[in-house]
Amino acid sequence: MFAESTITSRRIMRPFSLLACFFLSAGLCFFLPLSAQTTAGASAPSSFTSNLINIEAAVSETFRYNANLHNGSSETRIYDLYAQMPDGWLIAFRTIGSQVSSVSVDAGKTQDISIEINASQLAKPARYDIPVMAISPKDTLRLNLQAVVKGAYGINLSTPAGLLSDDITEGSKRDIHLVVTNTGTIPLKEINLTAQTPAKWQAGFVPSKIAQIEPGKTADVTATLTVPDKTIAGDYVTVFTAKNSNASSDATFRMTVKTSILSGWIGIVVILLAVFLVYRLIRKYGRR
């Protein structure tokens, strides 16, 4: 009796098991392709991003950011580029080497944009927040940048009294006392001294390079000018330059060359000899 009941139950459950397997298989076949298709077709949302959003530089330097504008929609969109700048600041957007004010981005694509910001020369050392926006008719993307102004580079080259002229005798040397001043708010490093002189003149500096000058401080330099012999008397200009990778300053120095006393006497003697020779020739041959 028990065996017959078991056999009957098995006969009744077998069709239900087969039916359940059928529906389960059909469901898997239906949902799996749909799920895979949805994942493959998914796209990242639209965004405006930059790897670096905080850059520190001097007030005279350019703040450069490399941004990425992604269009996550299913259509091409044109984005106008705009930024809220502090007074006196300037901004430029560049892509593919050209300055632009708007860009067209295809659906699902990303456009690289270079952002260049120049601070006002009057900007004080501080952190400045600069909101940058990419605006299309259907969405507005925002990128928050920060520019940290750490100060300004400044240098001045002159003499202690501000006098930029002197005189010299041909064939001699003259030492000129120069003063290099850091007029900025950032230390100046590796300052080189050079000169543009008249032809055949020579210039030397002690020292020829200054390791560092702190803001508001000065450094003394001695420039030596050598004037070649037989230089014609007159005014000559030499341009001294103090320069490093961040700042430079020129000092135009006028040097008046005078003829030496010995040369003057030699010239007078030559003239007198010439006159005497002419006189003798006239006396000798003029009677014949």
pLDDT in tens, 145-167: 999 999 889 999 999 999 999 99
Same domain assignment for residues 142 and 171: no
Whether 32 has a pLDDT exceeding 50, the answer reads no
pTM of the model: 0.61
Contact between 180 and 223 (Cβ < 8 Å)? no
Same domain assignment for residues 243 and 188: yes
Asked whether residue 114 is domain-assigned, the answer is yes
CA dist 100 and 165 (Å) reads: 50
As given in the structure block, the two tokens for residue 201 are 């003149």
Give the three-class secondary structure for 59.
Answer: coil
Q: Could you list the residue range(s) of the whole structural domain that residue 136 is in?
A: 47-149
> Number of folded domains in the chain?
2
Same domain assignment for residues 61 and 136: yes
Same domain assignment for residues 81 and 175: no
Same domain assignment for residues 109 and 53: yes
pLDDT per residue over 5-14, tens digit each? 444 444 544 5
Contact between 256 and 167 (Cβ < 8 Å)? yes
- The residue among 103, 121, 149 that closes a domain is 149
Asked whether residue 272 is domain-assigned, the answer is no
As given in the structure block, the two tokens for residue 263 are 């040369």
Asked whether residue 54 is domain-assigned, the answer is yes
Q: Using CA of residue 193, residue 197, residue 199, residue 200, what is the dihedral sign? A: negative
Here the CATH number for the domain that contains residue 229 is 2.60.40.10
Same domain assignment for residues 114 and 130: yes
Asked whether residue 163 is domain-assigned, the answer is yes
Contact between 59 and 121 (Cβ < 8 Å)? yes
